[in-house]
Structure 1
Amino acid sequence: MISKLIEDKLVCLSCTTLVAREEVDQHSKIHADAEYKKFYDWIMLRPGVGHVEMNVAKAIFKLLWTPLLRHVSSIMGFKTARSQAFIQGCGDNHITWQIIRVVTESILKELLVPYARLCSERNQVPTVDGYMAWVQGVKNNNYQMLFKFANLLVAFHLMRSGVRKNNSNAMLAGRQRLVPIFFVAQHRIYQRLVLRDMIVRQQQPSPVREYVRATTSYTVTGDETRGEGGDFILEAKNRSTKSWIPPGVPSSGQWIHASRCSERLEGVKTSVLERCGVARQNDASMVSLQENEDRLRAEIRRLKYLEKPQEEVQQLMSLDGEVLHPSFVNFDTIADKNYSAAKEAMRLGTAPKPEKLYITTDDADLTKMTKAEVLERISLRVEALGSEGERERWRKEIQRKKSKNKAAMIELLEELEAQQHQFVEDDNEMDAD
């Protein structure tokens, strides 16, 4: 929204008139040789690293959900449709991070097991270089897929660590490795955001660039390993302030009282809870890391998912046994291709034409489904929506359109999926800018 205003509003250097970009041709009839520049070129937008991290996590969960995370969440106790929808949508940042930690540790260790066994059989010492050479000969697509997942998850750790320690290089290294996955689904806001951010970083004068690098994140506790993005710090402060305002429309006096006294009131609250022996529920949403890592590793071995990496498999399979689309193993190549195409389209001022990524065989075979099957898929997605109001609205829409033909049902399904991909980003657009 703000970035669009910056790009659209120009000033004529001949007469200092503000001109919208689409009005330039008309204005040039008055001043034929006029030059224009952006009126708001003094504004530099910085993406909130907290919101970028949060939406990268959502992109990861969307991409990895069917192949891996759906079964992982079930192993970890999230078995109902509602709880799985909550996990898939990254409804709790703490749980999301705990799951990423469990999955990363489990996959990395299990990927090494076949190589370590081979080294043991040959009486060789396992090495990093040896593993990287060995993995080039892997023919099992399921192994290759998990290996690529591990690369993404390690990059997420690197990005998050860079934010926590105010290390701009680490944050950017991890982020840019992950950015292409925004371009295999409908993450349009963050596609534009990360592209614009890299352009802005290149154009910054040296003093500004150094300032931006030095202020990737901030710490409010004094612990240099617990940095947060300024966007999250501001949100936390706003929530804390609002928590002391009574229900209803607040008066100016209530706002002033809450704003001036929130820190003192928080101190009183903490003291009262400590005296009453009531602990703060900061860790209520955490999951057991070691226990769930052991469960996941045991499940991978029980399924013999990575047992024969040097043998080709007939079908690409999810961890819970669903057949995946054969091209999905190359999701990283498709993502990189779409990312490059988006950069080129931005340079030329044209609309990008991304390649479609199919996760399951059904994704590519909607036209082969019956109308009843399409309706069933729509209903399942509607019931997984987080808001009862949204669920009720879509139920009415289904009732209104279910008498139409299958093509209309497929169009309705695509519309629903597009909304599910987009609604969180729309909510965060102002925060991201």
Structure 2
Amino acid sequence: MTKALFKLLWDVCLMELAKMLGFKSPKALAACQAAHDHHKSWQILEIFLFAMSGELLVPYVRQALEKKETPSVEGFLASNKTPNAALMAKIVFDHSLALHVFRAGVRRNNTEVILCSRSKFSPLFFGLNMPFYMEAFVRDSLIRIQCPPAVNEFMRKNETYTVTGNESKGEGGDFVLENLNRKSKSFMPPGLPTDEKWLTISRNIDKLDEIRLNMQTIMGLTDKDSEYTYAYDISEEISAFRHIIRERKYLQKQSLTTLSNKPLDSAFLHFAEHAQENKDSHYTHIQTHALSSRLKHTPIFIFQEHREKHTNIANKTKAEISTHIETQLDTLKSHTLSQKWKKVKNLKKSVLLEFLKELNEIKDAESQSESDVE
């Protein structure tokens, strides 16, 4: 989910936020964009959520107070917004907030919160063409619908686990196993690990961990994992990012742009509706195809050049070009052209493009003749 938001927002505003946080070089920005470091990525999204939501709400609240009205959720949603403000409101309160709520649900093993926030966020997987997440979401949804009540209840009680016993520190099972694996590796002596070493450490990991904790207590040391037991104060970063948003008058602009003032694709404002359409289309597709089939949806276009690149026939595969040519041939109904197609269909891509160009010229000429007759 974190990677999905980075994919959606990187060019829009997260790149500027990353630069503000000190990611200056191309390699540093690329590492930040990849969102490999979960903790750093989470903090960046938290800064974005609280900074952008604050800048969205302040003007509305001031306007409501000037009119001597009580600010409300309904009032904010119904208020007039510039294109950038409308876009950010969708992203912040539909998707960024959904991720925030999802994490809270995971931490507290709250099934209803987890499923509700995940469902709200899920169209983004289909809008951004993330096949692994699309399949995982669909499979999990179907399992929950089809499994017996007893299994469903077991899943509900064990969505996440807490190793420490703290009810507010739940983690997914994969994270628990990952931490256990990391702990096992920390006891591994230098050199190539053998089966005997793995067996010894795995059988005695609890005793080894107890010995290490006792020694840390005696020596007054802090466990290296304890750095994540407190919330880092990001209030200064939030204020700094709010200053950038306000200074550039981003939410007051009458055109749809990035934070760095680059024009966005005109349809990007409706990315949520497009993502939902892709999700509905995917559900229709899997009714007659395997769940693992990779249906490639029309992506969300962030910039106009992305749309032009996607629609340019020269960027299509040979199979896609061939399909397009055969559709044209069905329309033209020419025996001569059909025979020529049989001769060139297995040749290289450039030949197919030339043949398609010829078909388009013939079709345009026929359309022109019909117009002249009328």
Shorter-normalised TM-score: what interval?
Answer: 0.7 to 0.9
Q: Which has the higher helix share?
A: 2
Q: Secondary structure of the equivalent of 1:321?
A: coil
1:273, distance to aligned residue in structure 2 (A): 4.4
Residue of structure 2 in register with 1:320 after alignment = 260
Structure-2 separation of matches of 1:275 and 1:213: 41
Structure-2 separation of matches of 1:368 and 1:130: 40
Summarize the Cα distance change of 1:98–1:113 in structure 2 as closer, same or farther, 3 Å threshold: same
Structure-2 separation of matches of 1:288 and 1:59: 25
- State yes or no: 1:187 paired with 2:127: no
Match of 2:244, as an amino acid? E
Residue of structure 2 in register with 1:60 after alignment = 5
1:217, distance to aligned residue in structure 2 (A): 0.5
- State yes or no: 1:120 paired with 2:65: yes
1:185, distance to aligned residue in structure 2 (A): 2.6
Pick from 206, 209, 212 the counterpart of residue 266 of structure 1: 209
1:303, distance to aligned residue in structure 2 (A): 0.9
Residue of structure 2 in register with 1:145 after alignment = 87
Match of 1:356, as an amino acid? P
1:132, distance to aligned residue in structure 2 (A): 2.4
Q: Secondary structure of the equivalent of 1:348?
A: coil
- Contact 1:217 1:227 (8 Å CA) reproduced: yes
Summarize the Cα distance change of 1:320–1:199 in structure 2 as closer, same or farther, 3 Å threshold: same
Pick from 259, 262, 274 the counterpart of residue 334 of structure 1: 274
Pick which of 342-351 and 179-188 moved more: 342-351
Structure-1 separation of matches of 2:2 and 2:218: 38
Structure-2 separation of matches of 1:274 and 1:102: 35
Q: Secondary structure of the equivalent of 2:287?
A: helix
- State yes or no: 1:211 paired with 2:151: no
Structure-1 separation of matches of 2:56 and 2:5: 19
- Contact 1:119 1:126 (8 Å CA) reproduced: yes
Residue of structure 2 in register with 1:236 after alignment = 179
Structure-1 separation of matches of 2:9 and 2:106: 23
Pick from 133, 142, 163 the counterpart of residue 106 of structure 2: 163
Structure 2 runs not aligned, ≥5 long: 313-349, 351-374
Superposed CA RMSD in Å reads 2.7
Residue of structure 2 in register with 1:19 after alignment = none
Deviation per residue, 1:118-145 (Å, 9 max, x gap): 11321222122322222xx32x111111
Structure 1 runs not aligned, ≥5 long: 1-55, 370-406, 408-433
- Contact 2:129 2:299 (8 Å CA) reproduced: no
The structure number with the bigger radius of gyration is 2
Residue of structure 1 in register with 2:250 after alignment = 305
1:278, distance to aligned residue in structure 2 (A): 4.7
Residue of structure 2 in register with 1:223 after alignment = 166
Q: Answer 1 or 2: higher relative contact order, Cα 8 Å, separation at least 6.
A: 1
Match of 1:145, as an amino acid? L
Structure-2 separation of matches of 1:341 and 1:367: 19
Summarize the Cα distance change of 1:74–1:286 in structure 2 as closer, same or farther, 3 Å threshold: farther
